[in-house]
Structure 1
């Protein structure tokens, strides 16, 4: 026979969370303890039977009626699940395994039947007692109270234990209506108003910079478990207790105040919800059942720990008065607080020590359980293993204890170990340049360079031509210390010229022949280029032109020139956008180039059988390894036409027909190329390298699915010779973007916070890089070089300041966040908007100017005040000196610039003005096709602005890659 009673609000909330978080195993609550001595199994069994008979909540299960009301069903009888074990013959490791097996036997009992289990294990001098209940029928206090009754009974005090189960015991069913009244009584409106909606929501979904960025197991896994860890506080308990007494606070309040300060390091606005129960009335002091609930508390976090404890104490008093009146908004009933604190108090000197408590008041991410038991006091942390992993959790717990000790002893907080990551330290052997590796590859059969739809040449033939060209160049006076520009399209001839210049001891400067002549002229003047190699009629003022097509190389020596090259000599100079109004020449040494090439060739096991796609413009550093890897491992370099970047069908055909095994691609292009499957195209891809932009997780996952190959995210500024860090994509990744990973060989990284100190795990700051791949400086721009570097006195190491804001993940990998300055990456191109600004100002075309990049519209806008020339003339000047991707999409004349209260330019306001300007002259779509195009553009551009028929797709953020999607 069953009695039916409406469930309490606490039970109703638990039920909803239980049934909406079916992947979480928190429907069972457990507590275990080690008892110093012998326990009588029969007495414990008798006490357990009396408990089940006398306490109705232990015989309660639940059901929902047709109206959605939750009812408690109180059974008249329930079976006793008592297990007695003998572990006297087992060692510590075996006992630990047995305990683990028992706790892992937890089955989802649901709430349709009452559930309990008691295990008693005799370990010789000690005993282990384990209690398991339906989670909806208990709370931490009840678990501890029931455990005490059973321990007392087993320790020869059965009579006293039974006396505590008197007839007048308050049954939980009697309390349910009383608990409901707190949420309905009109006299308690003010108390309920204390818990504002904002407070409830703020504690729910909170970011945590140490949280897991990959699933604990494969993404198909449906089981998500809570795990446990703990830190001993017994060694500091006396200090802790003394500090609490001096400040008229409880030990729990002191620890809570300290935990809040620790959490703010990893969660800026961390809200630590605390569990309070309704046992303040003496008549309820020993009431068994779920009388506890987590409530959001927001005490002010102060730099003074004494004040922080005082604030915690004051908030606790309010929570004790008002906790019964707390209820989440209906829309958030299913959501759990991210961080929760609960506690169990036990007498010092007890013969029993609590080992573990598993009680889940709701679907939290981290639960702190303070188990106060004198010198055996412990802080247990129960955590969602899909939210944070064990390594990060242990790091966090250690940090929490360290901070607590510093707080109560009045010490300055000891900073955690700062992040310093160092790639594998390897030697390059006797090689000084990449040329030695190239020479060793000459004897590999089938090593070649091929142009799609054009010529093919073996490496030995290319080497012979390069030697002849090198001798010709040396004959013209070119040698070590010189800089020679390569104004050639990507071709076999470019490869020959690149090798030839290096063989002379000079540095080569790859130049994009599509750039405006004036920009090329400026770059070569800045580099003081002695000559440039071109094909056909091509002239640069003040620089010797060498027409490759007119040379008769057959009459020059075929042997390798006898030139000694040092590791610090320059291998190449690469020009990137600069904030001073002109491009900067990044000078890279042979040592840097050799270090990078050795790393990438070895890390990814490049081999002669590999076929490398060469598709990146030679003027970008990402192209460097596309040229050199096949030359050094004796593979095949496949030089693709530039159209491959804009024609998906051509891309698929070349990758398939050319049997490409390794290729590099910018994420935005990869996204376009994976829009359609590779059905009908066979491919041999083994690795796709991404770089130049932030790689979205969904893009990487889609690419891995389409190509069934490894996806690698590469990160590195040109100043660090192509790549500084890397991360192999893992399908378990759960973040929006792919991490940039860990340093390559012989490079070290550190992250510096805004205050100048080094960041630790979970913190963020500017990424700084040092090591063998570092550039020699900006060519003939010593002041700019000095600004870009930071010398660390402590380590005596020179670091390059990347200007990139990154976060240190718990496993020491890095996640890119944003730029700290105005530099942007637009479709893989590195742009300094201030270069465009300075061009206008230096030319005297405006009184004031500012070029900005708008993330929402994904384009450049140029604002000017008091123009000295027409808009057409200004744009013509910019087009004559800038590459197409750097020309602003719109020029906007304004009377004044918006400024913030601190005097800084309000760039967000300018971005809004740019968007408004784009919407000027709006004409609504008039046909069905125009309306469909508007929706398509809004989705592709990820903007909500009103798009009309007069809008230019490219002026509002579109680019060639997105245009391909429209087509």
Structure 2
């Protein structure tokens, strides 16, 4: 508003003057409003283009206390947006001053001067140079002029006349709020379509050239914000519009013609006035638009007195704003706005060129044409056009051929590289189950309707969860549907056969998904008890990665709790846009250099040469205990590399040893979330990508140099981790074939942690995930306190024995790497002999440490059940930890014997584990034993402390010197953290007495290494796993119980404690086995024989997979 303009050498220059409010406001007292136009004219003439001011304010006080305020600003200093800003600031300042407050206006945005300087540079930039062809094409062939009644008539401001078009409030409401939804248009599209129809009908031409006026505040530069900058930013540009006969086709066609204008037309004015002289001449020689159109938007809300507005437009004359001898802006100028709920369109023209009746007729025809368009759009018609989905780059014909109704489509865009790969492999081998993920988790305290609503709300909130995948003209696209109903079923399994739920879940997963019809996720809530459910959540991996899944579960639980999750900062389409913006040539140069090191693809499965008839995938989980994990982490920190780098370094070495190739590669799954995308860490979608890590480890290389090299590769790869794997394979020298047959995934999205943040009253346990990629071998690494490596392998190519050997060698190399940074890689040898037992049971680990590891890895998995009660591994470990800390206060440590007298219960196992954690050895004392035997055991064992249950105290012959501790005592003040281990493998673990049938009972002292060796020596016979369900059938004072208890807990299985009365009834025991779906049974032959008699008479089969006999001779006949 302080600008001044001077002309030098034919060029106009603008300069900013110093702040000066002198005489800007004129105040006059008038007796009659008739004199107002005279004052208004004087205010208009007072503006001085050269010396200022460009602003004049006239306040007129009228009789009866009325006032009029005229604000006159030269158009060079203000536009429509500026008026809104000025009126807001004036009102805010006035209100503050009337209240005696300091005036604090909104912060300034980018200055007009800075914008002008940027446009000067923009005029000669690459972006605008590329627009030249568009503007030349848009203007050529449009030299047919509009009709004129008097072609030779003058075109001066004094000749100006006006006509008007109006819409009713009802039609205006439909125009603004209803009609645009039909074809996803803007109000301007409807207004211009009607105008083009009327003008083409009048001129009898197929198209018309119209000059549009836009606000000009376009988002051209990253460091620019013009939202509250005052100035004249308006842009003028021509557009050729070609209407059709049918309303819908006409509207869609003109919508596309308008969307094709680059950068909303601002480039035309820049090229026309700031561009190269030769091109400026080219544009000047082309046909010019003879109709100017400008829609200013809605103004009524800004002047609503009921909403506190101080300024309300007056119908009084504002004076002569233009020089009467100046030229009119164009043959026809149309200015539209919505005021007080009604559309008003002013037609300005020269009465010396057009008869008033001609323009009045056009104005009436325009009202009719616009009304027809509005009626068409509000009658249920719908359609989409290519500009609605710019990322998809589809033609109208391709859009019309989509199998989804236009009204159901929210967005369409291409797939990410990883999505394309998953889509290909899912369609190529539909029955294989690749990328069909299934999560099962037990729940208690569930409000099913609330849970259902929480999930549906999350689906409504995330477009990626409403996506399906279609192909159009050999291009794969993801279509986001506006609304989808999440498949959610409630089932009741309480009266179903024992394996019904497992069979149902497996069938549900095998059902897969029709990728062309969403949603690609479904849920089942299966009731398994009075307050027990199991969630079966099946989804296609193409929707999102593991990090997203964890965030989704967290959001669902927030919604379940009644909380509203924070609004997400971006959408998955932003990532697709980001991918399209990347320079493929830069990535190709990087990967071509990387691939030059690789002589041939790395085929690990060729080293095994195994081909079997077995189908499906197997899993083997490798665990590195807390101490080993800590050593690896410390070594990584010392070398300034990540634990992921250390794991990759060991895997590359192993691949080289197995394949014999000097250069090797594997697929590394990377997070793929670009840091420059706002809110990318909170977004849901499939961001991960799988890329080759290529290296050539040398035998003379030190470990330190090697891990640094792998780290450097990972860092360099981050700049290009978005590159599609199929492009990388195409750039390789192997005709596009796969570069590797194994991938390594380093996970950092603990789903169990999200579930542990459930609201009070809702608990999750026994979490199980089933995932499957198409690669023959996938390594999934999870690094918490314990490092776990899951080997998921195709049974057709890898045997279980081969995977065990591979895992053993991998562990050996990984541990060897962390031994010495100065060691040479050639010195790291693989053991020539190996056993699964050595690998599966790390040297130096005690049983309670292994259970701690299991609790870290699967905290929500059920560890044991008894008579309707259950404990997860986390709960078992925490309760045992609290008791162990208390036991240490009582003096329990290595080799200290602690008596344990308890009836079958969860507390009995908690007490046993707590004694081991405290460092002691448990001495089992079965309360059902005769008194004299119990008395002998208590004295002979030398116990000083007895763990027991209060109701047993009166029946146990407890020596006077023995301290007594109730298992049910409150432990609230004790830590749930694992006690620092004080036990070595040579320390005593338990003392079990013989029956004494040949004399006095003899105590058998077993150390921790004996206990671990018991399972290490036989593990490759049975291959127990976390899915196994065991029973504790025998007395815990009988040595067979050690096998039962620790067989379950050391392998992450579930232990079912059999009530004493059930052990005495083969019928009840059989029913329990069926109900609990027991898979591992440990029996004496005689007891098993009785069980089999019952089983043979029962129509319900058991789930037994393994039966281990002991305690007496087995008659195989």
TM range (shorter): 0.3 to 0.5
Report the structure, 1 or 2, having the larger helix content.
Answer: 2
**TM-score scaled by length of structure 2:** 0.32
TM-score (norm 1): 0.37
> Which has more radius of gyration?
2
Which of 1 and 2 has higher RCO (CA within 8 Å, sep 6+)?
A: 1
